[in-house]
Amino acid sequence: MTSPARFLIALALGAGIVGPAWARKDDPATQLANITKGRVAGKPQRCISLSDVNDSQVIEKTTIVYRVGNTYYVNQLKSGANSLDADNVPVTHTFGSQLCDMDTVNMVDRYGGGSRGFAILGPFVPYKPAPGTP
C-alpha cells in the first residue's frame, strides 16, 4: 500500500474515532453525559439553597445544571426550554432563599438586554461523585 493511501486510511480511522469537535459541543445529550460522567444520580429534590450555588451551566434547549460544592443538580425544565441558548442569560425569580421546582427563569438577551422568553424549573436531580472517585 502506498504512503498516501495509508495516510488517508489513518486519517479516516482517526476521524471516526475522534469525531468532529463541533458535534460534541452542540449536542445537548453529550454535554449532559460529560457533566454527569463518573457521578451517581440521587433522589430528585424540590429545592436547593440559592446561596450555596457556586455556578450554573445552560445546556441549550434542555437543561440548567447548578453546582453546589462537588454536587451537580440537573434541572430538566418543565416548560420553556426552547428559550435556553448561549445568547441568553438566565435570570431566576425566587421566593425566599431557595431555588425551587416551579420557579421561573427569564431569559434575557446577552447583548441587547431584551426579554427572550421564560422557563419553568422542574425538580433538581443531584449527581454526586461515584464512590471511590477523586
Low-confidence ranges of the chain (pLDDT < 70): 1-26, 134
Q: In the beta sheet, which residues pair with residue 72? A: 67, 127
Phi, psi of 94 (to 5 degrees): -120, 165
Beta carbons of 76 and 99 less than 8 angstroms apart? no
What residue segments make up the domains of the chain, in order of their start? 39-129
Q: What φ, ψ does residue 70 adopt, rounded to 5°? A: -100, 15
pLDDT in tens, 23-60: 345 588 999 999 999 999 999 999 999 999 999 888 88
In this predicted structure, what is the pLDDT of residue 134? 64
Which H helix or E strand runs over 13? helix 3-18
> CA–CA distance from 83 to each of 37, 91, 122 (Å)?
26, 12, 15
- Stated pTM of the model: 0.75
